[in-house]
Amino acid sequence: MLHIVLHEPEMPANTGNIGRTCVACGAVLHLIEPLGFKLNEKMIKRAGLDYWEHLDVRTYVNFEDFLEKNHHPKIYMATTKSRQTYADVTYGGADEDVYLMFGKESAGIPEEILLDYKETAVRIPMLPEIRSLNLSNSVAIVAYEVLRQQGFDHFQREGQLHRYEW
């Protein structure tokens, strides 16, 4: 199972978009407080559309609470400070839980947390002039790499036209 972990997210629209991505991926969304918004805000539900009611979302008072309640999982830390890219890593198989953690929009994951995750820290390559990508875009990029590596197991892989034939 895929788990998306947001450490102190600040923008409700990003979290709503990420919630929608989690529903599409069958992922659990973990939110580590403090949050920069309330979970019942309209912006979250608007961004998540009618998918929010189908989301498995869990909250934690801090990072230590998250670790304890999830039995100290192996976590891949998405950060611009990593030396390896998200595509350089082999994530767990389809039967393994994969945790992807992303930091808050204004500052990322605190460096004191990253120090313990050097081997599982990953970055999305980008031009040097760019500080970072939008949080919800970053989540989608890395999450779908995990799913790609797992062969998109249990996912609809083909679409069809409604009024025409291919």
Terminal Cα-to-Cα distance of the chain (whole angstroms): 33
Which residue type, as a one-letter code, is found at position 38? K
* Burial grade of 128 (CB within 10 A; 0-12, 13-18, 19 or more): exposed
Is 109 labelled a binding residue? no
Provide Rg for the chain, Cα atoms: 16
Strands 57-60 and 75-78: unpaired
Is 124 labelled a binding residue? yes
Is 130 labelled a binding residue? no
- How many CB atoms lie under 10 A from the CB of residue 34? 12
Which residue type, as a one-letter code, is found at position 141? I
Known binding-site positions: 103, 124, 132
| Residues contributing to the annotated binding site for S-adenosyl-L-methionine | 103, 124, 132
